[in-house]
Structure 1
Amino acid sequence: MEFRILGPIEARGSAGQARLAGRKQVALLAALLLRDNQVVPVERLFEALWGDAPPNAAAAALQTYVFRLRQCLEAVEPGAGRRLTFSSGYRLAVEPMELDLAAFRTHAGRGRAAAAAGESEVAAKEFHTALNLWRGTALPGLPGRYFEAHAARLTEEHLAALEERIDADLAMGRQLEVIPELRSLVAAHRLRGQLHGRLMVALYRAGRQAEAIGAFHDASAVFVEELGIDPDPALVELHQRILANDPDLAAPGEAGRPATRNDLPGDIADFTGREAEVQRLVAALPDGDAAGSAVVIEAIDGMAGVGKTTLAVHTAHHLVDRYPDAQLFIDLHGHSTGQRATDPATALDVLLRALGVPGERIPTGLDQRAALWRAELAGRRVLVVLDNAEGAAQVRPLLPGNPACLALITSRRRLADLDAARILSLDVLPLPDAEALFARIAGRPSAAEPEAVREVVELCGRLPLAIRIAAARLRTRPAWTAAHLARRLREGQRRLTELATGDRSVAAAFALSYQHLSGEHQRMFRLLGLHPGPDFDVYAAASLAGASLAEADRLVEELVDIHLLQQSIRGRYRFHDLLRHHAGDTARAVESEARQQEALRRLVDCYLHTLHAGDRLLYPQRPPVEFGDRVDGCLTRPLGDQTEALAWYDAEHPCLFAVRQLAVRLGWHERVWQLAWALDNFHRWRGHLDDQLAGWRAGLAAALLVGGQDIQALAHRRLGDTCARVGEHAEGVHHLRRALALAEQADDTQNRAHGHYTLAQALERQGDDRQALDHATRALALYEGLGNVMWEAVALNAVGWYHARLDDAERARDFCERALVLFRQGAQRAGEAGTLDSLGYIAHHAGRLDEAVGHYRAAVALYRDLGDTFVEANTLVGLGRTHAGLGQREEAGEAWRRAFDIYRDQHRAEDAERVRRLLDSLGP
């Protein structure tokens, strides 16, 4: 488990983040975590939850909140509910370092111990680790004196650790890095004299004595104006020492010695963002003479145009004082137009000459040059930027051997095989930084057209190179607006063409990466560009390429290593949006129309046949439909059980939608209706009714073109059922009657039975329970004649349900109990859940409320286990009504809140509003 209170309050387990329902439950968890592993008296919990005015039934309410908290913990980590125990109060068991507050205090304590021992670097690392656990203010959103007092104490702990971390940084000579941070802290905590003092020391050590004196006068003015007192005597004494140039205030080491050589390109004037990345790059650097035992190697990798060189050069400029003997820069041309990568021997010749080594002293052999390079760096503090590296083999001979040196390497390839290197994989810019960069380059404030600027940077994929080009085009075209630029970029096939100006082009940068690939990597890259969805797994990649699973896995992982693909979560891959355009354009330019069609056929069949296998797991009693053999080269993903099938459906849902649209666009009519059929149950279970409706509209159109009478009847029936579910009743009944007529024309008993059963459901939604019962009874007779026990059970439950709706409780119960026996004999849990729901309804309306609760709870548990959230929500509404009938307001509210959440997530607005009114009826 992982518990967090240093920011938004969270509990996480192996199944993800716990869903804490309401402020009271959050407050309960926070109160327990503030005294983790200790018994918190009930009275103290009353104070945390209700302040000075607990309700009369506070004890019972607390028990309910504890019960719900156990359920929340159990839902994300099996067995976690047992951590919360009672013994004259409640105690939450937390393992060491599971709680961010405990981890913060542990690391801060280690930092203080290291500082006391004079180990400033260790202290700084520990304090950095401790402070990184803070994600905002502690205990946010919890009002009342109880939590306000705790939050104030925790804030003080945070500030103290922050000051001690700054002391450790200053002890290592990092005054340049901490000055901007100290200015922000002083502005936020104007009356904290310790921060003013640290800012004065940092400025003085950076050689900015006048600014240090000015900082003292600023502090004095604050204390006089706001408190009417003089500054602290310690601050006055520090001011006097600065005036006297006290040598004891000087920075450790020899910072400030002039460099002998600086080959760095100029820093970027409009450099924007990347504060966290810069901080990470400098966080573990040695401070002058107190160097570590190994040279520091920072390898920055990322896709073309993400700003690797810009970041390296910007960071290097901030480190000039730390590496005063030389700052060297060399472009290794790992990805350069019309130029081969620089071989290591040539690079060493350039670097040695930059250090002043005469040409006659430079040996010819690579090993000898590398040895001389390391010897020249011995005893020096030198920063080396090795830009645009092709790979680890190219840079290994160029690495310093002196721990007082730093190597900054940039590459489009992830240099995981470079020993001892710290890897920083650079991502695109966060949205605020992307907007700020665009505004700075365009020379126009983004506030003038905020929505248009946001759209432009999103269309640029927040890629710095693309943003720079787009902003430069806007700056040089006064007649354009950001909205006009966005419209031009929005035209998908023109986007890469638009992102070019002068000698800069996003497409050209991507083309360089593509040209450096092997033939098999190039083919995989461009075929993946044909995938219509937002991401994909290795089975889809293998099918597109007609490759084996092992071969596809190797290729896509290697494309990840060179940042032509991204792996956001394990096993799923995606393109950066602009790279997707480039890959697709390349595929259309290189692959023939026939080869593109073959690749897409394999992809569609990969999804279709995996869907078919998954559907058999979700609904095994459903009459199967034969899809025929899949095309050669198509791989289907094996699905072990229902849980795995649902997880795959959920992960692939956006891709399945896109694949269906692809099949429609290409006119593959047979695949269109088959995809609608294979997705039908998943869409219903998860409440994706709009997708289901669109799928069956396309599916019916396709079935009318290529399907026989049985397929047309099926498509009419499924479209009719979906229309009825979304409230299109007239259209729904029309399609259902058409399906029934086709089944009767063909004398197809099974489809006649299905038609009557589905029509009964549609008529019920129109409020015609009498006709619904008639059709359900006909369906039952037909199923009995077919000898299909499971469908007979389905119809029995339906007949029982409609009898219940017509107030014939005894007959209703008889039919439903017969259905329940058959479902349990056949281990059909979905049917069992539906029948238990019916029995709950029957018991409720017969006044047997305790019995109804039992049935409803059993049904909810089954639906939740099955993953059928669509029907689970309906059952939860019935459960809530029964609890309300028993006067159990907390339990009713809990059931209705869960139903409301599902309805809201599934965009079932009318249902959500109905439940909201039920919740309002409970009162405050």
Structure 2
Amino acid sequence: MRFRILGSIEAHGTAGRARLAGARQLALLSTLLLNTDSVVPTDELVDAVWGDAPPNNATSALHTYVSRLRRVLGAAEPDAEARLTFGAGYRLRVAPDELDVVVFRELVARARAASADHPSDAAADLRAALALWRGPALAGLSGRVLRAHAARLAEEHTAALEERIAVDLALGSAAELVEELRELVAAQPLRERPRGQLMLALYRCGRQAEALRAYRDGRELLGAELGIEPGADLRELHEQILRGAPELTLARRAPRTACRNDLPRDVPDFTGRTDELRRLLAVLPARHGIDADPARRGGAAVVIEAIDGMAGVGKTALAVHAAHRLAEHYPDAQLFVDLHGHTTAQAALDPSAALDLLLRAIGVPGDRIPVDPDERAALWRASLAERRALVVLDNAADTAQVRPLLPGAPGCLALITSRRRLAGLETAAVLSLDVLPQADAVGLFGSVAGRNRTAREPEATREVTALCGQLPLAVRIAAARLRTRPAWSVAHLADRLRAGRTELSTEDSSVTVAFSLSYRQLSDDQQRLFRLLGLVTGPDVDAHAVAALADLDPRAADRLLEDLVDVHLLQERTPGRYRFHDLLRRHAEAIVARSVPEVERRAALARLVDFYLHTAHAADLLLYPQRPAIEPDLTTAAVRVRTLADETAALAWFDAERPCLLAAQRVAVEAGRPAQVWRLAWAMNTFCQRRGHLADNLEIWRAGLAAAVELGDLATQALAHRLLGHACARVGRHDQALAHLGQALSLAERTGDVQDQAHTHRILTAAWAEQGDERRALGHAVEALRIYRAVGNPVWEAMARNAAGWLHARLGEHDAARPLCEQALAMFRQHLHREGEATALDSLGYIAHHTGWHADAVTRYEHALALLRELGNSYEEAHTLARLGEAYAALRRPAEASEAWRQASTLYRAQGRAAELAETLRRLDSIGQQTG
């Protein structure tokens, strides 16, 4: 969405403009927007909406206004209602780029940071910021609170306007500013800064007498109105104008010279990068109007494009290719400087030496080039003031090396490449290159190796590019190796790459050398972390896991991870999740294997596995607090645990870490730590069952059972057999399920653990029901209920009651089913067991549907769905959706039935539940034929 408060209050979504009505609704929205993404207490909102005269039922009335605002926003954007939430107050979630005042402040802040070194960029940002204003902020609203906000925003607008004028003055636009400044001074005659700007503009236009008169007028007005003299800055400017101070005159510019083209040869077989090229070729000209008449270009900003990425990703090739395509638009100079920021044989080029090269390239004689680096930079910027020049600064080490080399004039373009993200260049547009998409990698390989050879072996070609990680340098080297060996097939090259027999290097380039250089340029702490990350077997990690792996504070781990991202030795595809490129992973694995002692490697992995185990255990207790706790085993002296706030955070953590937890269990297996292995399975069980990760659940409990047998503990073996049996039953492996559950029951009887016996009977209930034998399943449910009642466990008793009721209903015995499920529902609610409550509601919905009460069934199912979605239990959600569709179909509401079945089929497909998916699709097809 887009929200606007810099003028009239507006909200726009994909469906158009929101129909905001009434001063109170506007006041409510404005207050929420002024506190973007923060919880605003109810009393503050009441104060903003009603001021000093709130109604007696202000809290209730506010709730009504919030509900109306949700509906209004939802009409403009379908998902907007969910943005406005309650929790100790109200919060409206708005992304930074969705609110005009936030964008305005970001542009102003960026301009302030750039004003000294890049005034053209600063001017462009300030113009963009001021263009967001459509009139006075919060227009049409009154009230003490909002008036104060409006006054502050008006001051911000005035300050930005004055800063834009100051930058324009620095760029030499004095004549164009005089009339604007006269109007500004007339509107705010007591404000000294615009009066001083008017004086300076008049002076630079050769109108010294008028500049002095503007000062006298201001001095007289201040004396008459306030009885004071002008401030020190205004008095000093007056004195400088009186004596004609040279510092008030803009620096002179160097004369133009003939065009010079220093660009390297373009890559003849350049492939891919279509989107990136489109951005460079289309967006850059639009930003500074290179097709426009120079006299009309005004104060448009220099364009700075920083291209970064990992070693070998093709930064220089893209920059040079784009530069050749853009060269005609920059007729005065096309320059290229290799800054050697990441070169093996040569130190990084000093900025002063680079400036010497650049100045000589545009025709400045050597004897006119100053020795002082700052003076060189000033001469460089002045020399390009009226030129259209393209400058490629390749292989930059960091921001400090680049900053003095940037042109400061309109009509110039700087393309910078670096392995490091140049975050310090505030005015630069950053283009981070990733590896090539597969199709482009295949195309590059074919263009180098020969398309006839690759066309004969398309599968092998795709495999080779995958083994190269689709990294352009690696793909190009592999293709060149194939081209020089006519006897090889592409498949043979793939075999050699897979076996590690073909190094990705040629006479003048090597992937390993490129990676090694990047590694050597790291600090000691960064190198240590890079090495240890080579031990990680999961697909990615977060800072908390890395803190455990490296025995660091999480903040230190986060800082080092971001350092590695900045130099493109790590990728951050998802915020807070870090991963290697495949080739870099192999590089890190090789380094850690040869340079870190085994005892240190084992200790680091033990810390990592302990982190996953203990955090998973804590997260599992948040998901299922009624579950019996099992003490997680410690293998290290101390363990780091990530603190998770609530059930939602726990579920999100499990979702993000699922493959890492599976990898951690495999590490524990390889390390010979069976206690950790089965406890990890236990900690993941609830999550896997709720989310329907059936194959994962089978895998973790196979490992868990093997670990339990290795430990020799009968109670642990019984638990593992029981939960592995449940996992087998859910994937349709019924014989294996019954065998494991029989073992579990036998072991529970041997140990005399009656509660474990009841748990096993409850799982046998589910296993027989999965096979369609409801009568035998009912027998196990009744036995589980008997034991649970005897041991006094009300939550488990409620589960057994609901299971028995459900099975009676499946057998058509609805009169017996209903009281059991109603009793279970009451018990679940009494003990705040929401998952049990959802299953009981689902059972009652089934009973209502099969006894002709279809509307009641819909109500029950919808309540169950709401609870299941809160819990993130998508496994049971799929079942309930399928049954809800049946109830809607019985009510002759085919659209709702189809929607429920479509949602169910999506979940069944994601969970790999083929039988349920087939049945749901059959129902969808059937109802489609009826309504078609």
**TM-score calculated relative to the size of structure 1:** 0.71
Q: Which residue of 2 aligns with 1:850?
A: 855
Matched, 1:470 2:478: yes
Taking the aligned partners of 1:818 and 1:286, their CA distance within structure 2 comes to 75
Partner of 2:793 in structure 1?
A: 788
Instruction: Please tell me whether residue 834 in structure 1 is matched to residue 855 in structure 2.
Output: no
Q: How many residues align?
A: 701
1:460 counterpart residue number: 468
1:626 paired with 2:631, answer yes
Helix, strand or coil for the counterpart of 2:425? coil
Aligned-residue offset at 1:79: 7.4
Q: What is the CA distance between 1:34 and its match in structure 2?
A: 9.1
Query: Which residue is equivalent to 2:277?
Result: 278
Distance 2:488 2:662 in 1: 36
Matches within 5 A, 1:711-722: 711-722=716-727
Inter-partner Cα distance in structure 2 for 1:506 and 1:367: 38
Q: 1:363 to 1:716 in 2, by over 3 A?
A: same
Residue deviations 1:744-787 (CA, integer Å, cap 9, x gap):
11111221111121112212223332332222222112212222
Deviations 1:232-274 (Å, cap 9, x if unpaired)?
xxxxxxxxxxxxxxxxxxxxxxxxx995432221111111222
* Secondary structure of the structure 2 residue equivalent to 1:300: strand
Aligned residue in 1 for 2:491: 483
Matches within 5 A, 1:812-891: 812-891=817-896
3-state DSSP of counterpart to 2:294? coil
Change in CA separation of 1:393 and 1:73 when aligned onto 2, cut-off 3 Å: closer
Partner of 2:268: 269
Instruction: Check conservation: 1:295, 1:400, Cα contact below 8 A.
Output: yes
Shift of 1:742: 0.9
Q: Residues 849 and 305 (structure 1 numbering): CA distance in 2 closer, same or farther, change over 3 Å? A: same
Alignment correspondent of 2:42: none
Is 1:763–1:769's contact at 8 Å kept on the other side of the alignment?
Answer: yes
Q: 1:845 to 1:380 in 2, by over 3 A?
A: closer
Task: Give 1:329's aligned residue.
Answer: 336
Alignment of 1:320-719 (within 5 A): 320-445=327-452, 446-491=454-499, 494=500, 498-629=503-634, 631-632=636-637, 634-719=639-724
Q: Percent identity over the alignment?
A: 57
**How far is 1:384 from its partner?**
2.3
- Flag the 1:726–1:295 CA change in 2: closer, same or farther, 3 A: closer
2:545·2:608 contact (CA, 8 Å) conserved in 1?
Answer: yes
TM-score in terms of structure 2 length: 0.71
Higher alpha-carbon deviation: 462-471 or 294-303: 294-303
Residues 330-383 of structure 1: CA deviation (Å, up to 9, x unaligned): 211111113221112222233333344444444433233334434444544333
Compared CA separation, residues 312 and 72, structure 1 to 2 (3 A):
closer
Report the Cα distance in structure 2 between the residues aligned to 1:821 and 1:561, rounded to whole angstroms: 56
**Change in CA separation of 1:478 and 1:743 when aligned onto 2, cut-off 3 Å:** same
1:536 is displaced (CA, Å) by: 1.4
Structure 1 residues 849, 361: CA separation in 2 closer, same or farther (over 3 Å shift)? closer
Shift of 1:400: 2.7
Q: Does 1:295 align with 2:302?
A: yes
Residues 811/72 of structure 1: CA separation in 2 closer, same or farther (3 Å cut): farther
CA distance in 2: counterparts of 1:364 and 1:75, whole angstroms:
61
Could you tell me which residue of structure 2 aligns to residue 167 of structure 1? none
Letter in 1 for 2:618: A
Taking the aligned partners of 1:668 and 1:502, their CA distance within structure 2 comes to 47
Q: Which residue of 1 aligns with 2:163?
A: none
Q: Contact conserved, 2:257 with 2:363, CA < 8 A, in 1?
A: no
Residues in 2 aligned to 1:375 and 1:641: alpha-carbon distance in whole angstroms:
59
CA shift in 2, pair 1:803/1:321, >3 Å: closer
- 1:485-524 CA-partner distances (Å, limit 9, x unpaired): 3333334xx28x5322222111111111111110001111
Matched-pair contact (CA < 8 Å) for 1:609–1:630: no
CA distance in 2, matches of 1:510, 1:582: 8
* CA deviation after TM superposition for structure 1 residue 407, in Å: 2.5
> What's the offset of the Cα at 1:732?
0.8
User: Is the Cα contact below 8 Å between 1:686 and 1:868 reproduced in 2?
Assistant: yes
Equivalent pair of 1:547/1:633 in contact (CA under 8 Å): no
2:526–2:560 contact (8 Å) kept in structure 1: yes
Aligned to 2:729: 724
Give the corresponding residue for 1:152.
none
Asked whether the 8 Å contact 1:877–1:896 carries over to 2, the reply is yes
In structure 1, the residue matched to 2:117 is none
Q: CA–CA distance in 1 between the matches of 2:17 and 2:355? A: 60
Aligned residue type for 2:302:
V
Q: Which segment drifts farther, 539-548 or 838-847?
A: 838-847
Query: How far apart in 1 are the matches of 2:853 and 2:426?
Result: 72
Q: Is the Cα–Cα contact under 8 Å of residues 18 and 76 in structure 2 kept in the other structure?
A: no
Separation of aligned partners in 2, 1:830 and 1:565? 40
Secondary structure at 2:304 match in 1? strand
Cα offsets for 1:707-762 (capped at 9, x unmatched): 51111100000011111111111111111111111111111122111112111221
Q: Whole-Å Cα distance in 1 between the matches of residues 335 and 638 of structure 2?
A: 52
Structure 2 alignment gaps of length 5 or more: 4-11, 21-70, 86-94, 99-122, 129-255
Residues 357, 879 of structure 1: alpha-carbon distance in 2 compared, 3 angstrom cutoff: closer
| 1:108-127 equivalences in 2 (<5 Å) | none
Contact 2:734/2:771 (8 A) holds in 1: yes
**Alpha-carbon displacement from aligned partner over 1:864-921 (angstroms, at most 9, x marks no partner):** 2211111111122222223333333333222222211111111111110111122222
Counterpart for residue 104 of structure 1: none
Q: In the TM superposition, what is the alpha-carbon distance from 1:823 to its structure 2 partner? A: 0.3
- Note closer, same or farther for the CA distance 1:910–1:259 as it changes in structure 2 (3 Å cut): farther
Tell whether the 8 Å contact from 1:258 to 1:324 is kept in structure 2 after alignment: no
SS of the equivalent of 1:484 reads helix
Q: Is the 8 Å Cα contact of residues 330 and 388 (structure 2) preserved in structure 1?
A: yes
Unaligned runs of 5+ in 1: 4-11, 14-28, 39-66, 82-94, 99-120, 127-256
- For residues 713 and 364 of structure 2, the distance between their equivalents in structure 1, rounded to whole angstroms, comes to 85
Partners of 1:559 and 1:347 in 2: how far apart?
Answer: 27
Q: Check conservation: 1:488, 1:498, Cα contact below 8 A.
A: no
Counterpart-to-counterpart distance in 1, 2:893 and 2:383: 81
Q: 2:324 aligns with which of 313, 317, 332?
A: 317
Shift of 1:697: 1.0
- Residue matched to 2:156: none
Partner SS, residue 500 of structure 1: coil
d(CA) in 2 for partners of 1:465, 1:442: 14
CA distance in 2, matches of 1:767, 1:327: 77
> In structure 1, how many angstroms separate the alpha carbons of the residues matched to 2:647 and 2:397?
46
CA gap 1:479/1:884 in 2 versus in 1, 3 angstroms: same
Q: 1:431 & 1:766 partners in 2: Cα distance?
A: 44
